[in-house]
């Protein structure tokens, strides 16, 4: 006599990680076979009914993804980044560090240098060696150069307005210097930024205060996610804005400049070199892994 066993279908694997508490659902998909709709991404990133995250990182071989195939000669892996509402984004600085940490954990790279393909181009990454006590080394990401589109923009919260600096780090940012981070109000609701034509696909908005010499703190509203505990590209945009405000533009001085940028989830160190390249250094941690229930993932949203 034989006893039949119920058939089980293993769902896709996932990991959960964060960089200065900017957290992500990580979905390994080397061959690019997993189809993730915007609704599925939003379900996975839901903090009450899903795994929870500010965004999702799908790990795909560059050669297996149509948007990255042209970069496969430079970077073996493509970071398919999605915001928590399921929308597609160009880049995520904290996400690149977490992405690199996953590759290290999975044995796909080691300490040292690697390249990661993103929708904003190839990003160069350096993973520092693990300390003797087992502490993971910090990760430095070459973020490329900032673009500073011409024209002033204004950020408004609760009837108060500030002039802001328009900076593009592969994705758009509006950086406003304020007296207190409380001035940002409730950043789960997007601040009003004008003129709207300056940001046709939306904008990440940073509010910044000074903490000391070459030391600032920020809060951020990320388009498609709301307020997050950290934003890597945002910290870079803040550093660029602060350096211009302080007369420390490396293109003019000929010297690199480094700022410490405090975010609600920790601390990042941002350096702009004389050639315009911006480097961001900070931690990245993987905290959990498991499998996703395929029936739950495929169920219609209610």
Residues annotated in the binding site for substrate, as ranges? 22, 83, 93-94, 171, 204, 222-223, 232-233
The number of beta carbons lying within 10 Å of the beta carbon of residue 231 is: 35
Q: Using CA atoms in the order 141, 246, 185, 85, what is the torsion angle rounded to 10 degrees? A: -30
Catalytic residue among 15, 76, 120, 231: 231
Catalytic, 45? Answer no
Catalytic residue among 92, 187, 261, 280: 92
Residue 159 token pair: 């009837």
Residues forming the active site: 92, 231
């Amino acid at each position: 006599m034989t006893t039949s066993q119920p058939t089980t279908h293993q769902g896709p694997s996932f990991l959960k990680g964060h960089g200065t508490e900017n957290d992500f659902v990580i979905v390994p998909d080397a061959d690019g076979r997993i189809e993730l709709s915007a609704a599925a991404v939003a379900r996975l990133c839901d903090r009450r009914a899903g795994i929870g995250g500010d965004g999702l990182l799908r790990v795909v071989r560059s050669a297996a993804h149509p948007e990255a195939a042209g970069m496969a000669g430079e970077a073996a892996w493509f970071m398919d980044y999605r915001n928590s509402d399921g929308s597609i984004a160009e880049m995520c600085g904290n996400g690149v560090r977490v992405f690199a940490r996953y590759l290290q954990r999975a044995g796909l790279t080691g300490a040292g240098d690697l390249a990661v393909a993103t929708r904003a181009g190839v990003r160069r990454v350096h993973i520092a060696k693990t300390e003797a006590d087992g502490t993971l080394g910090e990760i430095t990401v070459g973020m490329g150069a900032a673009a500073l589109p011409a024209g002033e923009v204004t950020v408004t919260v609760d009837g108060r307005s500030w002039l802001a600096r328009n900076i593009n780090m592969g994705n758009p940012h509006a950086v406003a210097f304020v007296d207190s981070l409380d001035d940002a109000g409730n950043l789960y609701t997007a601040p009003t930024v004008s003129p709207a034509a300056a940001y046709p696909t939306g904008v990440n908005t940073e509010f910044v205060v000074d903490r000391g010499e070459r030391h600032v703190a920020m809060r951020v509203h990320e388009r498609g996610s709301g307020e997050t505990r950290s934003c890597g590209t945002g910290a870079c945009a803040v550093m660029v804005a602060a350096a211009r405000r302080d007369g420390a533009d490396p293109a003019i001085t000929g010297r690199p400049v480094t700022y410490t940028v405090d975010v609600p989830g920790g601390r990042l160190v941002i350096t702009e070199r004389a050639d315009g390249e911006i480097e961001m250094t900070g931690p990245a941690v993987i905290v959990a892994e498991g499998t996703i229930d395929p029936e739950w993932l495929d169920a219609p949203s209610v």
